[in-house]
Amino acid sequence: MEIEIQFEADEKGYFDRECPNENCLFNFKINTEDWKEKVSDEEVHCPKCGFVAPADKWWTQTQVDRMHEIVLSYATSYAQEELGKAFKDLERSTKNNKYVQIKYEPGQRISFVNNPIGASKEWEQDITCEKCGTRYSVIGSAFFCPCCGYNSASRNFEESMDIVKKMIDSLPEMKDMLMQSYNLDKAETICRGMLEGCIGDIVAAFQKFAHARYLELSGKSLRSNDFQIVEKGSSVFHSICGFDYAHWLSDDELTRMNIYFQRRHLLEHNGGIVDQKYVEKSGDLSYTVGQRLIIKNSDVLDLITIVQKLGKGLLSINPSEETK
């Protein structure tokens, strides 16, 4: 016994999917045509966590509930019809019996309802996979193409930078909100911690992007930590393409980038307290040993500008060209 169930797409032509990984359950949308023509039956990737499962495992909870309703409606209607036939037969068989006669009065008919299962309202953020062209839509961050599993390092990097910018813009509002729950000192401390954390977030995002770009260009893998050190990362790219960071950044930009990267190390490993190693590696003479770093909004935005400029340069390298 088969019941045909239809699914409707939203106004953009996308329909809903949900990651079957119980630790994730990420909801996303995928273009209906791409789901039919490009996505394999054996392998679908979660855009959020990268979990892989066959195509028939990606129903949303809403879709599952609606399918259960349709099946129950069909089963109830079918059972009522079969019982009606049975009692009608029994009624006819006892019609001429002078001892026992059965009368059957059917109740209200329950109709089988099989309306198409609709999609949720369309979302704003649409993504097209750089590798296979599959179109999908998400709310928030996504890292993998649902069709081929491709992880776009450049898109993830730019998204990370955008998130940091938005957090910087929202810090005054967040401080006001925190002051309603805590005192001014607590609100100031929390916001300062968030601002300082932005330096680490930017360095980590660039590190992942640079490592992925290096792997794409060279086919080789390195320790991703190598790209936390400006000089080492620069020499690594020079070794495979003949261009170091100075090809895209000025001397002043390289100097500032190195200072910010060294500050990240100091914030994460020394509580932001300046030591001699920081002074030697950064060349930052605006601090003396024993002082604590002060991170400003302008520092974070300056670092974003520098790494985005460098990222654009690294993306301009043609991987088909011979390495120098």
pLDDT tens digits, one per residue of 85-142:
776 666 677 776 666 666 766 666 666 565 667 788 889 889 999 899 999 999 888 8
Q: Are residues 142 and 200 in the same domain?
A: no
How open is the CA angle 19-162-201, to the nearest 5 degrees?
80
Q: Where is the domain boundary, 151, 171, 202?
A: 151
40 with 136, same domain? yes
How far apart are the C-alpha atoms of 293 and 260, rounded to whole Å?
A: 11
What's residue 322's pLDDT? 44
Q: What is the pTM of this model?
A: 0.73
Q: Residue 73: what pLDDT?
A: 78
For residue 319, pLDDT over 90 is answered with no
pLDDT, tens digit (0-9, with 9 covering 90-100), for 231-274? 999 999 999 999 999 999 999 999 999 999 999 999 999 999 99
Same domain, 122 and 171: no
Q: What is the mean pLDDT of residues 24-51?
A: 95
Stronger pLDDT, 104 or 25, i.e. the higher one: 25
Beta bridge pairs of residue 17: 28
Phi first, then psi, for residue 38 (nearest 5°) are: -110, -40
* Other C-beta atoms lying within 10 Å of the C-beta of residue 291: 11
Task: Tell me which of 134, 151, 168 is where a domain ends.
Answer: 151
320 within a domain of the structure (yes/no): no
Selection from 152, 133, 127, 122 nearest residue 38 by Cα = 133
pLDDT recorded at residue 311: 96
Count of CA atoms in the C-beta half-sphere (13 A) of 120: 16
How many percent of the chain have pLDDT more than 70?
88
pLDDT at 4: 77
Residues 124 and 259 in one domain: no
Residue 48 has pLDDT above 60, yes or no: yes
Ordered DSSP codes for 270-311? STTB--HHHHHHH--TTS-TT-B----HHHHHHHHHHHHHHH
Query: What's the whole-number mean pLDDT along residues 58-69?
Result: 91
Rounded (5°) CA angle 40-51-223: 115
Count of H-run helices and E-run strands, the chain = 8, 6
DSSP 97: -
Which domain range does residue 46 map to? Answer: 1-151
Task: List, in sequence order, the alpha helices (H) in 183-296.
Answer: 184-218, 230-241, 251-269, 276-282
206 part of a folded domain: yes
Residue 280 counted as domain residue: yes
What CA–CA distance (Å, rounded) separates 257 from 315? 18
Mean of the per-residue pLDDT values of the chain: 89
| Same domain membership, residue 296 and residue 166 | yes
Note whether 112 and 250 are same-domain residues.
no
Which H or E element spans position 168? helix 153-181
pLDDT for the residue 225 = 84
**146 and 157 in a common domain:** no
Contact indicator for 199, 295 with CB cutoff of 8 Å: yes
Same domain flag for 75 and 212: no
CA distance 160 to 304: 10
Total domains, the chain = 2
Residue type, 38: K
Question: Per the domain annotation, does 323 fall within a domain?
Answer: no
2 and 46 assigned to the same domain: yes
If asked whether residues 92 and 175 sit together in one domain, one would say no
Of 135, 151, 167, the last residue of a domain is 151
Q: Are residues 188 and 146 in the same domain?
A: no
